[in-house]
Structure formats: C-alpha cells, structure tokens
Amino acid sequence: MRRVMGALLVVLAASVGGGLAQERAPRRVGFDEAVREAMARNPTVARAATAIGRAEAILSQARAVTRPSVTARVNSTTVDTPVAFDDDVIQPRHQVTFAPSVSIPILAPARWAATAQAQDQTAVAADSADEVRTQIAVAAAQTYLAIVSSQRQVSVEERSLETARAHLANAERRLEAGAGSRLNMLRAAQEATAGEARIETVQFELRSAQEALGVLLAENGPVDAAGEPTFVVPSTLDESVWMNARPDIKTQGTIIRAADRVVRDSWKDVGPSATLSFDPQYVVPAGIFQPSRSWRFTASLVQPIFQGGLERAVRKQRQLALMDARLAFTQLEIQARSEVRLARQAVASRQRALLIVRRSAEQAEEVLQITTVAYELGATTNIEVIDAQRSARDAETAAAFAQDGLEQARLNLLVAIGRFPE
C-alpha cells in the first residue's frame, strides 16, 4: 500500500511540475513601454474616448438645426365620387400632390448658442479623456514600482535564506563532529525554514503585482518589469507653469469656460428667431380650384413675450452651476499646492531616510560577519548569529522599502506638477 501511495505521489508531483513548466513566463517590459501600452490599450481609456465621440455627435446635431432643411411630401388621394360642376372637375376621383419645402433659419440665436455650447462640451470631453489617460498612466507606473519593490524583497529574502542555509550547514557539521548541539542545529533549521516561508509570501506578492500590471496593459496574462525606472525631478518649480500643466486643472478650467458661456448666452433663449421657407406644390390632375403648379414663400418672426418666469429660473440655475465650477477650481488649486508641497517634502525626507537605512544595513552586515566568525571560533552561541541574521535581513528590507518610498515620492511629485506622463 505504501508503495502504491508513493507511486501516486510521484505521478502527481510530475504532473504538477509539468503543468508549472508549461506555464508561460511573464512578458517583460520597460517602464516607459508599460506606461505607453497602458494609455493605448487600457479599456478605461477607450471608454473615455467614446465620450469624445458622443460629444461630437451632439455637436453635429446642434449644428444641423442651424442649417437649411429640405423636405418633400407626396399625397395620393382617392374619393368615391369625383366632384364636378358642368364639365369642370372640382375634385378629381384620384389626385396626387407633390409638395417639397425648403426652410432656412436666418435668425436663430438660441440654436447658435447651443452649437457653441456643444463645442465646449466636446473640449470638456477631450480634457476629461486626457485626465483618464493620466490616471491610467499613474496606475501603471505605481504597479510597475510595486513589481520592482517585490523583486527587491525577493532578492533580500533569497540572500537571507542563503545565509541561513549556510549557518544550518555549519551547525550540522559541528553536530556531526561532536562540537555542537542538536538545539543549535534546530535553531538554525528553524531560521532557514522561516526564510523559505517568507520567500513564498514575497513571490506571491510579486506575482500579484505582475497580474495587476497585465490587467492595466490589457494583457492576457502577467507582465513583469524589465528594470528600474529613473525619475528626473526638477530642482525649481514655477507655479504658473506646473499649475496649468495638471490635467485636472485643465479640465476644470474648460468646464468653467463652458459654464460661463452658458450664462452669457442666457439672453439668447428669449431672443427673436426668424425663418424663411419656400413651398412649391404640384398637383396631378389639377382641379378647378387647384392649379397644377403653385408656390408659397413665408417669412416668420417669433419673439417670446412672457414665459411665466422660466427664463429667470433657468438663468439662476446656470449661474449657480458656474459658481460651483469656480469653487471646485479653487479647491483643486488648494489641493494641488498641498500635493506639491507634500511631495517635495516627501522626496527630501525619503532621500535622508535612504542614506540612514543604507548605513544601518551596512552596519548590520558587518555585525553579522563578525558574529559569524566569533561563532566559528567558539566565542559566541548561534543565538547571537541568528539575531545578527535577522537584524541584517530587517535592515536590508528597510533599505529596500526606503528605496521604494523614494521612487514613489519622486513619481508623486512629477504627477503633482503635471510632468507625468510627458
């Protein structure tokens, strides 16, 4: 029975191993390539682009009502008995009427205003799409940095596990030679086993980040980072430049201009409108009171007089919408200044922290080397060695986190000043 179970386990392990071997390795992309692909292929960006198409369609509809229109009408009439007076037919039994019509608006301030307003909404949609592209680019950049961070953690844990295994091998040799104890060997084995568990955790975090990047790039599978990005942060910042470079500020500015136009065009809703129309008519056969050919030319002028206060209510709503847009713009400016100040402080703070933790990591590594040598000479126990290993691993992990935090702070600063993506 044990042999059968053993054979089954071997087959199962082979099948699982074969399945893992057949799994496709993640495609590796550089940072700039990942950002470009995310902006070009992500479905959210495509959905934002459809909003531009809808706005352009509405603009075309608004323009259509300001242009001449041509219609044609055909009537076929049959009566049970024709109407005649002596030999003159007044109403033939069967008669066909063809009546085309041409209408031209010559004064249509409300329609013209609607066209200009629809054009403003097209600009709003375009700026909003740019803002969405920026958001997707930032998400791709942050996910890319998460992959790089996980790669660093994997390297840290692999080096830590290698050190733990070397210490375990030394403890086993000492035990076999009678110079060590089983307790020391078990302590070293426990540290190595814990390192293997930590590697499994960080490798899964790496795979999760790769899957997230694949989703952002609309890839059918995980995508890996090919290298670490380099962010160039400007030393001086001009608010008048970076404020207008932010996509959210651009979008809100366009919204304000559109709302302001709507308010300024409010008088056109109650202004006069004039239309010219030409209506020829052809009747076959003609009646005594219906000539075969006739036409009519009409000039129409309409001026609203009283609408029960509707125009004042509409204007008030538009003014409130404009006020709300301006208040939102002010809030965005306040938030943008805060983001830039905080991002600059974060970059400076993370740079100082990185220097400190790197020095700490170097010190911890030197302590580990000294402790290991002392243990091999019998001057210390393996408890001190294990503590030194943990301290070295923790210090190296802190250095990796500090590097990740600095890169994230630099990215946040570039986003805050509208320099990412360029």
Question: What is the pLDDT at residue 202?
Answer: 95
**Taking a C-beta distance cutoff of 8 angstroms, is the pair 181, 75 a contact?**
no
User: Is 57's pLDDT higher than 90?
Assistant: yes
User: Is 41's pLDDT higher than 60?
Assistant: yes
- To the nearest 10 degrees (0 to 180), the angle between helices 31-41 and 109-176 is 140
How far apart are the C-alpha atoms of 190 and 38, rounded to whole Å? 44
What letter would DSSP give residue 266? Answer: G
Cα 177 to chain centroid, rounded = 63
Residue 145: closest CA among 350, 392, 353, 338 = 350
How far apart are the C-alpha atoms of 266 and 110, rounded to whole Å? 8
How far apart are the C-alpha atoms of 262 and 317, rounded to whole Å? 10
Question: What is the pLDDT at residue 79?
Answer: 84
Residue 42: closest CA among 214, 221, 248, 246 = 214
- Does residue 138 fall inside a structural domain? yes
55 CB contacts (<8 Å, ≥6 apart)?
118, 121, 122, 124, 125
- Name which of 21-25, 41-45, 189-193, 257-261 the model is least confident about: 21-25
- Does residue 310 fall inside a structural domain? yes
303: left (phi over 0), alpha (psi -120 to 50) or beta: beta
42 CB contacts (<8 Å, ≥6 apart)?
136, 140, 216, 217, 218
- Range(s) of the domain holding residue 406: 35-416
Cα 30 to chain centroid, rounded = 19
Residue carrying structure tokens 């499994």: 200
Note the pTM of the prediction, 2 decimals: 0.83
Residue 106: closest CA among 305, 302, 291 = 302
Question: What is the pLDDT at residue 23?
Answer: 63
- Does residue 13 fall inside a structural domain? no
Show the tokens assigned to 282. Answer: 């052809």
Q: 173 — phi, psi (to 5°)?
A: -65, -40
- Does residue 28 fall inside a structural domain? no
User: Is 2's pLDDT higher than 70?
Assistant: no
Burial per residue of 396-419, b for 16 or more beta-carbon CB atoms within 10 angstroms, e otherwise:
bbbbbbbbbbbbbbbbbbbbbbbb
Residue 151: closest CA among 100, 199, 218, 82 = 199
Q: pLDDT, tens digit, for every residue of 395-408? A: 999 999 999 999 99
**Taking a C-beta distance cutoff of 8 angstroms, is the pair 100, 293 a contact?**
no
How far apart are the C-alpha atoms of 361 and 156, rounded to whole Å? 12
Cα 92 to chain centroid, rounded = 70
Question: What is the pLDDT at residue 112?
Answer: 93
Q: How many residues belong to the chain? A: 422
Q: 90 — phi, psi (to 5°)?
A: -85, -45
Show the tokens assigned to 361. Answer: 């990591």
Cα 330 to chain centroid, rounded = 24
Pairing of strands 83-85, 88-91: antiparallel
383 CB contacts (<8 Å, ≥6 apart)?
187
User: Is 329's pLDDT higher than 50?
Assistant: yes
- To the nearest 10 degrees (0 to 180), the angle between helices 247-264 and 109-176 is 160
- Does residue 305 fall inside a structural domain? yes
Q: How far is CA 189 from CA 161, 182, 210, 395, in A?
A: 11, 10, 32, 22
- Does residue 220 fall inside a structural domain? yes
Across the chain, mean pLDDT equals 90
Q: 83 — phi, psi (to 5°)?
A: -105, 125
How far apart are the C-alpha atoms of 24 and 26, rounded to whole Å? 6
- Does residue 19 fall inside a structural domain? no
Q: pLDDT, tens digit, for every residue of 382-394? A: 889 899 999 999 9
Of the CA atoms within 13 Å of residue 246, those in its CB half-sphere come to 23
User: Is 345's pLDDT higher than 80?
Assistant: yes
For the chain, what is the domain count?
Answer: 1
Cα 183 to chain centroid, rounded = 55
CATH code, 131 = 1.20.1600.10
What is the rounded average pLDDT of the residues 15-31? 66
Q: pLDDT, tens digit, for every residue of 114-150? A: 999 999 999 999 999 999 999 999 999 999 999 999 9
- Does residue 2 fall inside a structural domain? no
Burial per residue of 198-217, b for 16 or more beta-carbon CB atoms within 10 angstroms, e otherwise:
bbeebeebbeebbbbbbbbb
Q: pLDDT, tens digit, for every residue of 216-243? A: 999 999 999 999 999 999 988 999 999 9
